Amino acid sequence: MRRIRRGGSYLRVADPSWGDPLSGEHSRIRGGRWNAPGAFGVVYLNASLDVARALVRTRLEDRGIRPEDIRPEAGPVLVRTRVPDDTYVNAVTDAGLRSVNLPTTYPLDGRGKIIAHGVCQPIGQLAWDAGERGIACRTATKGAPANGEELAYFGRHSLSVAKTEQFATWFS
């Protein structure tokens, strides 16, 4: 596995009811792109506001809801945090993707389809078992910028909330 240096300001889209929006417990139970259900916790973070907005649009559209239909107090909050500057598994560059046996077209396969979570989860497990801090990756979120990134932070060390912004403030 190749590594890439990342750190600094990252964003988490969170439900306003979550007691700890920077906990990986929800993904530990349900799984996600880089972790199978029941395996280990991951805090999925966005590297930019454009990626966070695209994530919300996609989630809402998948449910037949438009962002303007959301009551401002009920919409997802944006949690800002600082991630430790360190090396993370590289699923961003072509060389990094090849090192984890993903195509350089990631997040798409050779037919233009999104690569399934089941393909990425074993890579996440290998990284977890190797003691890695997380995986920096190209975003698979529909409508995100082509160079958009996410960070699957493994939560071996807890993150703290730097700032929380209400939906009406950050999404518009």
Q: What is the pLDDT of residues 42-97, one digit of tens each?
A: 999 999 999 999 999 988 888 888 888 888 777 899 999 999 999 999 999 999 99
| Position 172 pLDDT exceeds 80 | no
Residue 69 corresponds to which tokens in the numbers above?
Answer: 């239909």
Distances (CA, A) of 130 to 24, 45, 127, 154: 18, 21, 5, 12
Q: What's the half-sphere exposure (Cβ side, CA atoms, 13 Å) at 161?
A: 15
Return the number of other C-beta atoms located less than 10 Å from residue 162's C-beta.
11
Report whether 13 contacts 49 (CB < 8 A). no
What gap in Å lies between CA 49 and CA 148, rounded to an integer?
10
Report pTM.
0.93
